[in-house]
Amino acid sequence: MLNGRRILVGITGGIAAYKVAELVRLLVKSSAEVRVVMTEGAKEFITPLTLQALSGNPVHHTLLDPSAEAGMGHIELAKWADLIVVAPATANFIARFAAGMANDLLSTLCLATDAPVAIAPAMNQAMWKNPRTQRNINSFLSDSNLFVWGPDSGVQACGDVGLGRMLEPVQLMDNVLGYFKSGALQGKNVVITAGPTREAIDPVRYISNHSSGKMGYALAAAAQVAGANVTLISGPVSIPVPEGVDLQSVVTASEMLKSAEILADNGCDIFIAAAAVADYRVLEVAEQKIKKTNDDMVIELSKNPDIVATIASRKVKPFVVGFAAETQDVLAYAKGKLIRKKLDMIIANDVSDSRIGFNSEDNEVTVLWQNKQSGADENTAFSLQNKTQLATNIIELISAQIAAS
């Protein structure tokens, strides 16, 4: 659900540090990219190796380490993050953070980053109640880029009872999801077609294509993370449905069109056609398996309905985005399709390039649209990147376009 969001988890030296292993696991499970930074104190409670294994990345812990700086330097790391979560955040860290200090790697990152910082305080109840800690916490409340998650109340490791327990990893996870959910497509209804369609020849054979559905599914996940209510109309594929996304499984182009029209009738704000719809269907599907009696065989085909063009020509129409997979004159053909199909935006890619395309993990595209105010053609090129990351970028571009129009 976090679909390539870059989350930097800072761990400071409190007993709750061991619980953060679970938070890192939940973040990774939700497809976030996670990097962990530990203070010296944190390493007394949990080993960097545990966090390295769970995050899948080396753990950062030293500010002035030439080899670490040669890998991902501290400023680069500060820029990399979409969100920093410090959990547990000790009274000492909170005091240093409030004072704007930069005397270890984590405090330096928190000072250098433009990303929001969320802290999950964890300390003894008396330390939490202490007016100096409260003054530090209060100093964060007016800053819209800082969040204080918790603390919880209950029995503490030292036996005291009161406020100061770190929120449980699942609650922190909910807060992370909630933060990203307040995204640009909050409450919008998004419908995405994905995968191939299959057109039967007889009960055992069909015409189809190699579409994996990856791009459409990645867009569904990214739209969901941006706060949309997402429905995927998917042809037969073998990839999991992103959590929180509704699935309508279809086989043929006609079924895909029917689902799309029903969803458009019920209020669709954005329609993204990522499916590789079979251009033709068999005119007369044989009721029984066709026998190979003749040397030659002719199958008569009939053109399938154009789903995206049908949706785009409705009187009340959603913001419609299509794809153009081309092998030559990519931008010119894509522009033609944008106009002919009455689309609001088109995503063009060069499928003659073997690095990208139907079954690959990566894609490189140019998105084209016409500026509604000036009538000028506009485009944004996205260099070769993972489809997950690309989907997030495309969803951001669509959101910005909708906001501007």
- Which CB sits closer to ligand C5P, 252 or 385? 252
CA angle centred on 18, ends 92 and 1, rounded to 5°: 100
Shortest spacing between CB 322 and ligand C5P, in angstroms: 3
Question: Counting contacts by CB under 6 A, is residue 252 touching ligand C5P?
Answer: no
- Which CB sits closer to ligand C5P, 144 or 328? 328
Among 105, 219, 307, 356, binds ligand C5P (CB under 6 A): 307
**In the β-sheet with 117-121, what is the strand arrangement from edge to edge?**
33-38, 6-11, 83-89, 117-121, 146-148
- Structural tokens at position 41: 């104190």
By CB under 6 A, which span of 110-118, 200-208, 234-242, 322-330 interacts with ligand C5P?
322-330
Question: Counting contacts by CB under 6 A, is residue 349 touching ligand C5P?
Answer: no
Question: Counting contacts by CB under 6 A, is residue 308 touching ligand C5P?
Answer: yes
Among 191, 323, 348, 349, binds ligand C5P (CB under 6 A): 323
Question: Counting contacts by CB under 6 A, is residue 233 touching ligand C5P?
Answer: no
Question: Counting contacts by CB under 6 A, is residue 399 touching ligand C5P?
Answer: no
162: left (phi over 0), alpha (psi -120 to 50) or beta: left
Q: Which active-site residues does the annotation give?
A: 158
Shortest spacing between CB 373 and ligand C5P, in angstroms: 25
E strand or H helix at 84, and its extent? strand 83-89
Reduce the DSSP state of residue 389 to 3 states and report it: helix
What DSSP state is assigned to residue 241? P
By CB under 6 A, which span of 66-74, 223-231, 271-279, 396-404 interacts with ligand C5P?
271-279
Question: Counting contacts by CB under 6 A, is residue 221 touching ligand C5P?
Answer: no
Q: Which of residues 182-211 bind ligand C5P (CB under 6 A)?
A: 193
Shortest spacing between CB 398 and ligand C5P, in angstroms: 14
Question: CA 281 from chain center: how many Å?
Answer: 34
Shortest spacing between CB 68 and ligand C5P, in angstroms: 44
Q: Give the span between the Cα atoms of 223 and 403, in whole angstroms.
A: 15
- Rg (alpha carbons) of the chain, rounded to whole number: 26
C-alpha count within 13 angstroms, C-beta hemisphere, residue 30: 23
Give me the 76-105 binding string for ligand C5P, x by CB under 6 A, dash otherwise: ------------------------------
Shortest spacing between CB 346 and ligand C5P, in angstroms: 8
- Structural tokens at position 42: 């944190």
Question: CA 73 from chain center: how many Å?
Answer: 25
Among 322, 356, 391, 401, binds ligand C5P (CB under 6 A): 322
Q: Strand 280-282 to strand 301-303: parallel, antiparallel, or no bridges (unpaired)? A: antiparallel
Question: CA 9 from chain center: how many Å?
Answer: 18
Shortest spacing between CB 201 and ligand C5P, in angstroms: 18
Q: Give the span between the Cα atoms of 338 and 367, in whole angstroms.
A: 11
Reduce the DSSP state of residue 399 to 3 states and report it: helix
How many chain residues are in contact with ligand C5P, going by CB under 6 A?
13
Question: Counting contacts by CB under 6 A, is residue 219 touching ligand C5P?
Answer: no
Shortest spacing between CB 94 and ligand C5P, in angstroms: 50
Q: Give the span between the Cα atoms of 23 and 25, in whole angstroms.
A: 5
Q: Is the peptide bond before 169 cis (omega within 30 degrees of 0)?
A: no
CA 92, 97, 100, 106 torsion-angle sign: positive
CA 108, 111, 116, 118 torsion-angle sign: positive
Among 226, 277, 312, 391, binds ligand C5P (CB under 6 A): 277
Question: Counting contacts by CB under 6 A, is residue 27 touching ligand C5P?
Answer: no
Question: Counting contacts by CB under 6 A, is residue 275 touching ligand C5P?
Answer: yes
Which chain residues interact with ligand C5P by CB under 6 A? 193, 253, 273, 275, 277, 304, 306-308, 322-324, 337
